[in-house]
Amino acid sequence: MCGIVGYFGPSQNSVEIVLEGLKRLEYRGYDSAGVSFIDEHNELQNYKKAGKLDNLKEELKGKNLIARTCIGHTRWATHGGVTDENAHPHHNDILSIIHNGIIENANELKKELMSQGVKFKSETDSESFLELVSFELRNGKPILEAISDSFRRIHGNSAFVVLYPKTGEIFAIKRGAPLVCGINEITSEALVSSDPYALAGIVHKLYFPEDEVIVHLSGGNKNLVNFYELDLTKTTRYLSKKQDMTVTVSEKGEYEHFMLKEIHEQPELIRNLTQYYFAGEGRETLERIGHFSPKRIYISACGTAAYAGLVVRDFLEGINRIPTNVELASEFRYRNPILSEGDFGIFVSQSGETADTLAAQSLCKKSGIKTLSIVNVDGSTLFRECDDNLLIRAGVEIGVASTKAFTQQALTGRLMSAAFAGDLKDENKKVALSGKFALLAERIDKLLAASDSIKTVAEAIYNYKGFFYTGRGAYFPIALEGALKLKEIAYVHAEGYASGELKHGPIALIDEEMVNIALVAPDLFEKTVSNIQEIKARKGVIVSVGPRGNQELQALSDYYIPLDFDGLEELAPLYVNVVNQLLAYYMAKFKGTDIDKPRNLAKSVTVE
């Protein structure tokens, strides 16, 4: 999704600061970039280019970039093609704006403005906001009032940042889209962004404004940042949080891709999770949530997060015997679900900004049922909208294809299950569960150390026509997630299927060009092996991921990835999932795709 960064402060290097912020947001996916700034002659400068940030930097070479105030944007095209003209910022002689989201009534606004003589330069919906505010300014309204009156007319979810050349001040406002601002009181700097990650290490304090709050970066006059309601009264409708200045920008380090680094981070994150929730800052939250007593649970999420939701459902039904439905948020929000008192909505998300998941949460909130997030980004919209939250503690996830977040989402759900079961009162149970988490971490460490064997299998199969991932029971969600990983980063067709379902149709696809990655759990061994035999009989290529040292399985398989399941019990599917993460990573590597920023994808889908 689009990236927003704005800076107003004493540094005359604001353009470089904004470009660095945009670079940090590259992982979110984009197809053009631009900046607007007020140069040392108080002139508005605007540069924007289709393509990657490097194209913009090339454009800026040799230009006078001395400026104290600058806004920048990376655009993921929605309305209007990928062209220089459609890139943001959009500007005219008195204003410059950047925009995330969709203006649903843009055509109507454009018609009205064109009837008043306004000429539009781009195909975008965003430009209608630029010209609305400019129209109000030209008619004598002060900037705050012009922004407020214009924003009231905007339909749909949007975040805007406005650069006002007359004073150099920056304004921002949003509805249903991510926006965060931050200050460094020592350096008197103020920044605004669509993602806290862009501000990491620069600001001491973060502010998350609520919908329809105007943010004003004053450049040091009075407060560094001010907040107003649409009626222009001061407001405190924002969440403020101290920012850990030691948070540094995630670097790839020794890894070729962020995705591989994040796969390798998993063992340590797993160990830290029980520490955080059993003995650290998260203990009180988990204990509080343990007092909830849901009669029925609806888990709603998208993509990988929805598959993590399926893993959590297996915990909640298997351990807690709580009836639990997993609903794709994009369906759930329009399904008019039957929600009753005692129901509980749980929303799983890495970014906490996924539009469909936010809409599903809003539906539940309006129905009066309690809502809880299992989320990675502290302070995100989902975090702020839910009644309570369980942070998954995955750290910044740069790779668009989610890996460590999936594991942490599922394991945080396991800790929630323990809380619902009353296990937090029993030290022995907590020690046993911590031990199981530690064993999972250890097994994944060993798997990662031996990942060359998985790379060899990936090299052997990456050119096949299509892939089935099959699994039963708790491994069915892992089959779905494994197939999604491969689709996302290797651009090959893959399907996750319940092993028992293949013979009900899909087996017609099996031939010597199709690979079946069979997830074979010890507890469902016989049934899963018979499914493999059905595929084998039709010349399908078999990759088995199953118990180590099983001769029968080895004899049946073209490729066999042996694993040690003992002691992992309900956590074993998350161990098998790492094999799929590595298979997808290496197959994509052999195919030469852009693993961290796959084509067409965005890290956080903040539009419908």
∠ at Cα 455 (259, 598), nearest 5°? Answer: 35
Q: How far apart are the first and last CA of the chain?
A: 11
What is the rounded distance in angstroms from the CA atom of residue 342 to the CA atom of residue 253?
48
Query: Is position 304 an interface residue for ligand AGP (rule: CB under 6 A)?
Result: yes
**Catalytic residue of the set 49, 174, 487, 603:** 603
Asked if 304 contacts 331 with a C-beta cutoff of 8 angstroms, the reply is no
Number of residues forming the site for ligand AGP (CB under 6 A): 15
Nearer to ligand AGP, 122 or 354 (CB): 354
Active site annotation includes 2: yes
CA distance 515 to 215: 53
Smallest distance from ligand AGP to CB 606, Å: 9
Smallest separation, CB 496 to ligand AGP (Å): 13
Reported as type and span, the H/E element at residue 144 is helix 143-151
- Scanning 35-43, 299-307, 551-559, 564-572 for contacts with ligand AGP by CB under 6 A, the matching segment is 299-307
CB distance 179 to 172 below 8 Å? yes
Q: Which residues, numbered 365-424, are part of the site for ligand AGP (CB under 6 A)?
A: 400-402
DSSP 2-67: -EEEEEESS-TBHHHHHHHHHHHTGGG--SEEEEEEEETTS-EEEEEEES-HHHHHHHHTTS---E
Tell whether residue 581 is a contact of ligand AGP (CB under 6 A).
Answer: no
36 vs 580, beta carbon nearer ligand AGP: 580
Task: Output phi, psi for 264, to 5 deg.
Answer: -75, -20
For 151, half-sphere exposure in the C-beta direction (CA atoms, 13 angstrom radius) is 28
Binding segment for ligand AGP (CB under 6 A), chosen from 120-128, 182-190, 303-311, 422-430, is 303-311
**Beta carbon nearer to ligand AGP, 173 or 605:** 605
Per the CB < 8 A criterion, the answer to whether 553 and 520 are in contact is yes
Closest approach of Cβ 302 to ligand AGP, in Å?
A: 4
Instruction: Supply 577's token pair.
Output: 């999932």
Binding of residue 263 to ligand AGP (CB under 6 A): no
Residue 458 vs 605, nearer CB to ligand AGP: 605
Rounded Cα–Cα distance for residues 559 and 536 (Å):
12
Residue 299 near residue 399 (C-beta atoms within 8 A): no
Q: Is 478 in the site for ligand AGP (CB under 6 A)?
A: no
Q: Does 354 bind ligand AGP (CB under 6 A)?
A: yes
Which of residues 36, 351, 371, 412 is near ligand AGP by CB under 6 A?
351
Q: How far is the CB of 604 from ligand AGP (least distance, A)?
A: 5
Contact 241, 230 (CB under 8 A): no
Verify whether residue 603 is a known catalytic residue: yes
Cα–Cα distances in Å, from 212 out to 104, 365, 584?
17, 19, 42
Name the segment binding ligand AGP (CB under 6 A); options: 1-9, 194-202, 349-357, 420-428: 349-357
3-state secondary structure of 221: coil
150, 274, 349, 544: which one contacts ligand AGP (CB under 6 A)? 349
Give residues 586-605 in contact with ligand AGP (rule: CB under 6 A). Answer: 604-605
Residue closest to ligand AGP (Cβ): 303
State which of positions 88-127 bind ligand AGP (CB under 6 A): none
Binders in 482-521 for ligand AGP, by CB under 6 A: 488
Q: Are 120 and 135 in contact (CB under 8 A)?
A: no
- The contact mask relative to ligand AGP for 523-542 (x = CB under 6 A, - = no) is --------------------
Catalytic residue among 2, 181, 302, 386: 2
Residue ranges that bind ligand AGP, judged by CB under 6 A? 302-305, 349-351, 354, 357, 400-402, 488, 604-605
List the catalytic residues: 2, 603
